[in-house]
Structure 1
Amino acid sequence: MRVPRFVLFSCFLLALTTPAFAEPLAKSLFGAKTTGSQQAAAPFGSYAKGCVAGAVQLPESGPTWQAMRLSRNRNWGHPETIDYIKKLSTFARNQRGWSGLYIGDISQPRGGPMLSGHRSHQIGLDIDIWMLPANNLNLSRKHRENISSISMRRSKGAFVNSNWTPQHHAILRAAAKDKRTARIFVFPGAKVQMCKDEKGNRKWLRKIRPWYGHHYHFHVRLKCPRGMKGCVNQAAPPKGDGCADAQKWVNDILSPPPPKPRDPNAPKPKPRREYVLSDLPKQCRSVLQSQ
């Protein structure tokens, strides 16, 4: 007995929708890579949708830094990022009470979506830097898994607490003044405090952006390196020092605005779909396939 063609075609379509034919999640593919690709260094895509070729691993320990949470294997970045860390940590070493910096997540060995945590940090140009003063650069691997940073916030982020010091201000200022920096995310109260305390040139404050969380660490985002055509920069921060905007964040924390009326007829928001490899820039396939 011959099976009609339309039945065979229907079965084929059904098979394509089964897990066996489903494209694996990009985070699983990139999360499985343990080393960088043997390619010229290049970020592809945007900070939250891309990958990085030829990433360099930040050494676990250096004269002015230690990489934290080594089990995550997220101490990889574009060579510019690694150079930036070394330069900023050298500055930090000269601050009272600091011997350098504790470095949190940068990127996975080939960037891409992470198995857990961040949406960004995908192209080797994002760096989490702990607020905890790095006064001991001889921490063991085990200690670096268990130690925690310290919070700088008070009143849900409206103000800094007693852990905040002039040295934090100085390190963030140095981080922002580097021409490679696109923006730095930190909790609103810290930005407002820096706006109050800064007595010199205030141009660098434009790069300090208030954002949710970010009171145990600050998040540096670098610009796409010059000549990297496959890299997509985030739009520049609005002109000005951004202090009025940060103050509004603080005001909203202290006196939350009333919630917007809910439209009963509005469709339910769709959950964010996780990326598969075909969602990412086409170069990311070769980044995965490279030795």
Structure 2
Amino acid sequence: MTMLKRPLPGKSLLLKRVATRFRSLFMHVVVPKPLRTFGRHALAALAVLALAGLATRPAAAEELAKNLFGAKKLPAVAAPQSIGFYSKGCFAGGVAIPLNGPKWEVMRPSRNRRWGHPTMIALIEKLSRDAAADGWPGLLVGDISQPRGGPMLTGHASHQIGLDADIWLTPMPDRKLSLEQRENMSATLLVDEKTHLVKDALWAPAHTRLLKRAASYAEVERILVNPGIKKKLCDTVKGDRGWLRKVRPFWGHDYHFHIRIGCQPGSPKCKAQENTAPGDGCDQSLAWWFTEEPWRPNKNPDRPKARDLMTMASLPAACQAVLDGPNPASAEAVTYYGDYYGEDGVPVAAAPVLTKAPSLARASASGAAALPATANAYAETPEIGIPLPRPRPGY
């Protein structure tokens, strides 16, 4: 431009030209008085940007993985497979637990977080039956995973690979809850926020039996509870205390407990967690939770959470293929009923078996490795004799 070949004009004229250019680009820009105090070189640089029309724009930010996975309403049809770590991954071949079962009801159904690896869903259904035999009226099932896992829009850092599930410590009522009640009913908080101890008036031996039953399954590697609940168990459990090793104290978890199972066969890209420490956990590691240190205010409360930073590049490459994978015909087609019996005592059939498994054989556009499809999420899942995972660790 000829203007750039001329000597720089005086400050007053330069400011007018800058303002004129910005008006043409953005309809109206008022040049603030402080600009008049700028040095000659700063004004020159500003003029060049204005005269160039700000032609160079920054590349659009890569979309967050939580938005991409949070938008998926159905799982990827493929062999059941967990990919990555509990707090950084995804999963394919997921199935849903029915909203209603003989001894369970799904809470907060609008979140669409009733999906998991078939082993996880089968285990929840088994727990509902076994706990009922122990005297627990029925399970209120909280969040499991999104249809394809991945980072969530809100809430959990984990629950990303279909191997985590939350179960409320409130027993199922003796009546069927309406959808509105499931969305709005408050859970019972069992721990005092100030003392971090269990409220004795709310705790019952049935809570202990429920947690012991959940810990009894070989598939379960960890059960996360509030430190106050762990202390209550340490103070009251008699006889066999070996199962307490799996029960780990963690922040929150004052109205529900968190079941975590290990990486399952057929998931070579699943990253296992370290084994829990030996012993029942009723030691100095628990005492730490009753010092001031764990409860000190966050020094950086505005620091973004991991889910607010994760893009697809942050996740295992195979998660792109999961994200791009085909949908099943419907949610009902991939709902796992196991040996669920209807009210009339007649077994409800499991999801239908396809004659040909859909394939994720193509690589994704980003070059991510394709997922194997030797089986599919529609196939009937074993009742729960499911292969026993190797023991691993914990919080």
State the TM bucket, normalised to the shorter chain. 0.7 to 0.9
User: How far apart are 1:158 and its partner, in Å?
Assistant: 3.0
Separation in 1 of the partners of 2:318 and 2:295?
45
Q: Evaluate the alpha carbon distance shift between residue 244 and residue 143 of structure 1 in structure 2; reply closer, same or farther with a 3 A threshold.
A: same
The aligned counterpart of 2:92 is: 53
Separation in 2 of the partners of 1:144 and 1:188?
27
Going by fraction, where is strand more abundant, 1 or 2? 1
The aligned counterpart of 2:148 is: 110
Separation in 1 of the partners of 2:218 and 2:195?
28
Separation in 2 of the partners of 1:282 and 1:89?
36
Residue 286 (structure 1) aligned with residue 321 (structure 2): yes
Residue 277 (structure 1) aligned with residue 312 (structure 2): yes
Alignment RMSD (CA, Å): 2.8
Paired AA for residue 91 in structure 2: V
The aligned counterpart of 1:7 is: none
Paired AA for residue 260 in structure 2: R
| Contact 1:50-1:111 at 8 Å conserved across structures | yes
> Over residues 167-194 of structure 1, what are the superposed CA-to-partner deviations in whole Å (9 max), with x where a residue is unaligned?
1101101111211111111111211111
Which runs of structure 2 are paired with 1:126-145 in the superposition (5 Å)?
126-136=164-174, 138-145=176-183
User: How far apart are 1:85 and its partner, in Å?
Assistant: 0.2
Paired AA for residue 230 in structure 2: K
The aligned counterpart of 1:233 is: 272
Residue 159 (structure 1) aligned with residue 192 (structure 2): no
Which runs of structure 2 are paired with 1:74-113 in the superposition (5 Å)?
74-96=113-135, 98-113=136-151
Separation in 1 of the partners of 2:191 and 2:165?
20
Paired AA for residue 286 in structure 1: A
Residue 27 (structure 1) aligned with residue 62 (structure 2): no
> Over residues 204-232 of structure 1, what are the superposed CA-to-partner deviations in whole Å (9 max), with x where a residue is unaligned?
11111111111111111111113421111
Q: Evaluate the alpha carbon distance shift between residue 54 and residue 167 of structure 1 in structure 2; reply closer, same or farther with a 3 A threshold.
A: same
The aligned counterpart of 2:218 is: 179
User: How far apart are 1:160 and its partner, in Å?
Assistant: 1.2
The aligned counterpart of 2:262 is: 223
Paired AA for residue 135 in structure 1: P
Tell me which stretches of 4 or more aligned residues in structure 1 moved more than 2 Å. 154-158, 256-259, 267-273
Aligned length: 273
Structure 2 alignment gaps of length 5 or more: 2-52, 327-395
Q: Evaluate the alpha carbon distance shift between residue 249 and residue 18 of structure 1 in structure 2; reply closer, same or farther with a 3 A threshold.
A: same
Paired AA for residue 223 in structure 1: G
Separation in 1 of the partners of 2:64 and 2:56?
20
Give percent identity, aligned residues only. 45
Separation in 2 of the partners of 1:195 and 1:77?
31
User: Which structure's CA Rg is the greater one?
Assistant: 2
User: How far apart are 1:148 and its partner, in Å?
Assistant: 1.4
Q: Evaluate the alpha carbon distance shift between residue 101 and residue 268 of structure 1 in structure 2; reply closer, same or farther with a 3 A threshold.
A: closer
| Contact 1:61-1:137 at 8 Å conserved across structures | no
User: How far apart are 1:99 and its partner, in Å?
Assistant: 2.2
User: How far apart are 1:136 and its partner, in Å?
Assistant: 3.0
> Over residues 246-276 of structure 1, what are the superposed CA-to-partner deviations in whole Å (9 max), with x where a residue is unaligned?
54135315xx6997xx9xxxx9996455110
User: How far apart are 1:157 and its partner, in Å?
Assistant: 5.5
Separation in 2 of the partners of 1:88 and 1:193?
22
